[in-house]
Amino acid sequence: MEHYFTNNKDLKSEMRTINFEKNNVVFTFFSDLGVFSKNHIDYGSRLLVDCLLKSKEKFQSLLDVGCGYGFIGIVLSKLTSCSSLMVDINERAVHLCEKNIKKNKITGQAIVSNCYENVYDKFDLIVTNPPIRAGKKIVLEILNGAKEHLNPNGCLYCVIRKDQGALSILKNLSLQYKCEIIAKSKGFYVIKAKID
Ligand SMILES: C[S@@+](CC[C@H](N)C(=O)[O-])C[C@H]1O[C@@H](n2cnc3c(N)ncnc32)[C@H](O)[C@@H]1O
């Protein structure tokens, strides 16, 4: 079975665009077959972005892990004028994200990376809508691995559905971070984690 995180060079392309408006800025995202939430912006990702835009969090650099076509990193980058690095294991998603960075004129870069494999810098903010379908091991690798890539005082924000194990993941994260549930909506939890 194909997943949105597998690389399949034979997968046909049916490029489409998704428009999204926030704070009077209109964004356009190229999307395609074989990537997560290909026809619409995911509700959990929107919730995560809304939480950060409402927060008093100050950040100049952000890392979006499992960026897909780049929704979270691109919107936050544009509306907060921060620079962003976006990584995904799915080559097609990274290619779309590169196009979307150009299209939406943000300061950012998208690269292929299995979790943090190709990430060498540190960031003020790490954001992720983690790939639950890739399994808990990968999800925890992404969430717990964030520690090594955060600047002092930096923080991690993630969005996870309650019925996809948000509470057990929160329990695990609490062993490494000071955690807070920032929002709960339609079964999605947004969790903020800071190094304890
Ligand atoms: C739930 S989707 C979120 C996509 C995007 N951030 C959004 O909000 O639409 C999770 C993403 O993680 C990526 N992913 C899966 N396993 C990964 C891994 N080991 N390393 C990096 N990214 C991975 C998937 O390809 C997918 O794009």
State the closest ligand 1 atom to the C-alpha of 44, by its place in the atom list counted from 1: 8
Give the pLDDT confidence score for residue 37 in this predicted structure: 97
pLDDT at 131: 97
Token pair 């190094």 is found at: 195
Quote the pTM value.
0.97
pLDDT of residue 196: 79
- Tokens for 182, please give them: 């920032």
- Domain 16-195, CATH: 3.40.50.150
Distant-in-sequence, close-in-space partners of 56: CB < 8 Å, separation ≥ 6: none
**Atom 14 of ligand 1, residue of closest alpha carbon:** 66
Residue 168 is predicted with a pLDDT of 95
Cα 136 to Cα 84, 113, 141: the distances in Å are: 26, 18, 8
What was the pLDDT predicted at 2?
61
**Contact yes or no for 42/20 (Cβ under 8 A):** no
CA distances from 94 to 7, 106, 115, 175, 180 (A): 11, 15, 13, 32, 30
* Candidate from 38, 49, 69, 88 with most ligand 1 atoms within 8 A of CB, to mutate: 88
**Average pLDDT per block of 10 residues along the chain, 196 residues long:** 71 96 98 97 98 95 98 98 97 98 97 98 98 95 98 97 96 97 98 93
